[in-house]
Structure 1
């Protein structure tokens, strides 16, 4: 395990016990937690993107603010729903954020997940073409976005204003190297193979939209191996990154016990359910004493196969609690996986 990072879903709301009651608090606390995580030696600060929900929705202002407050930690998303995105405007935002950070942006993108809005992307002006599915549209947006961040021309020059430029104009600014730091959030083995063929890194979460009857971590490890095999066969010139996400909640003190003792009994096994009409397998939460968590994660074949572990955090418990949680994982759990500060 080369890197560990946190993954915040950015929830906010006035619920009982919430320490993140407004959107403003969620944004500011996201910045503060990233600063605290860097001080702890954690390698990454990642944020989930959801629309029409009380969660983070527009990640680039948040990531740019974190970039301005930090020097080392990677900043990223896990993941941006490409159905909603204007690919060229997103290319400009991503490049600008990456330049502010000095090349630390790790951008997770995907087709998206179930959401509160029915056909929400259409409210943003994006509707699949005739014969397209939502997934097809997301991939089309992804293709243009990836083309734009490489500096390829995408717009005809106007001879009145383009200063004699010939050929198609690229978007500006450009950030060299960003194209190799795009990750695809793959929910199946098939999409992991597709991502490897195109040269995108693999971001695999605690949910796969398929179920073969084997434990989640074994199915995910199979997905990772298929990705690696396909990457090697494709002959890409650079090495891929692979991340998995886990909910890891060490119980160290009475405050931890008050919040998570019940979860240790309720969430300690895989779950199978239906999402968008497909059978899906959900990974379990890891809850308990740090030494036991270290043993369980060492037996997680997908964690062992990945180079990056993203730790989902209960962000509504506030910055101090989540910094404490990350500190306990960094001190007592992650070193057993081969990670060092």
Structure 2
């Protein structure tokens, strides 16, 4: 494990006892958490994206604010539902945030998980032939992928008094602006199955795998997920892509070092779960909650964690910044080093080039 960060579901709303976490509270706390994690040397902070729900729905303003207030930490999504997106506008926004952050955007995209409404993307102006919208998500992603790669998109108006922008690759059409070199290397696909992981590998994307797989054949969750990762890397290599792709997995991991930790997590789920999501019989990963030394032993036995380069800790964002920084600090101090991690204290993520000022490109 080379890197670790957090994945926040970003829930807000009533907390009980007359208390309420507002949307504004959630956003400000996310920024504060990112600053604290940056100081601790954690590598990334990621946010789930859901529409029509009390969660983060439009992550780009949040990611831009985090970029402006941090120095080293990656920021990103896990994942943006491409069914809802205007792909060219998303390409412009992503490039702008990547430039503001000096190349620290790590954007996770996919078809997305089930929403709280029926075919909500239609209310955003999009239609799909597939009831699950998989065709729409892939169509939008294809446009987004070409746009951030600098391909020409629109014919220049020769009568425009404003002149023409730079021509894109593959002809005289104009590309979208801005462009952020290297952004395509930091796009991840959230895959729930082995087939989707193989597709992501063939495309040359990074792989983001969650706390579930949409498969259940009796094998443990970590074994199923490790096989998914292996198939992804094989597909990447067979497609002839240069370099090494990144792979992240998500886990609920809670070091228990205080009475408060025990109160919250001492009776967490200890085994994998089987259930249905989006019509698929699926395997859900267990929650790891134990003393740090026990967590080290358990995570070292997790085949997928040890097969990935990045671990995302799913955090209880409603419990506030201080408590979540406590979780991150305990993990960074007592667990992560035993898994191979070193603090992100020497600059941008490994593998990014540096410009003359030392900022990541």
Give the TM-score taking structure 2 as reference length.
0.91
Aligned to 2:255: 250
Which of 273, 276, 285 aligns to 2:287? It is: 285
1:212 aligns with 2:217: yes
Aligned to 1:326: 328
- Unpaired runs of 5+ residues, structure 2, are 344-361
Aligned to 2:153: 154
CA contact (8 A) 1:18 1:317 kept: no
CA contact (8 A) 1:18 1:316 kept: no
Give the TM-score taking structure 1 as reference length.
0.96
Quote how far apart the aligned CAs of 1:277 are.
1.8
How far apart in 2 are the matches of 1:234 and 1:176? 22
How far apart in 2 are the matches of 1:17 and 1:42? 33
Q: Secondary structure at the match of 1:151?
A: coil
Aligned to 1:88: 88
Quote how far apart the aligned CAs of 1:251 are.
0.9
How far apart in 1 are the matches of 2:215 and 2:340? 30
Q: Against the structure 1 CA distance between its residues 205 and 18, is the aligned structure 2 distance closer, same or farther, given a 3 Å change threshold?
A: farther
Runs of 4+ aligned structure 1 residues displaced above 6 Å come to: 17-20
CA contact (8 A) 1:11 1:20 kept: no
Q: Report which of the two has the higher share of helix.
A: 1
- Unpaired runs of 5+ residues, structure 1, are none
Quote how far apart the aligned CAs of 1:262 are.
2.1
Aligned to 1:116: 116
How far apart in 2 are the matches of 1:20 and 1:149? 39
Aligned to 1:31: 31
1:136 aligns with 2:135: yes
Alignment coverage as a number of residue pairs: 337
How far apart in 1 are the matches of 2:32 and 2:19? 14
CA RMSD of superposed structures (Å): 1.4
How far apart in 1 are the matches of 2:335 and 2:252? 13
String of CA shifts for 1:40-92, please: whole Å, max 9, x gaps: 11000111101000000100000000000001001110000000000000000
Once structures 1 and 2 are overlaid, which stretch shifts more, 13-22 or 115-124?
A: 13-22
Aligned to 1:269: 271
CA contact (8 A) 1:75 1:105 kept: yes
Aligned to 2:77: 77
Quote how far apart the aligned CAs of 1:163 are.
2.2
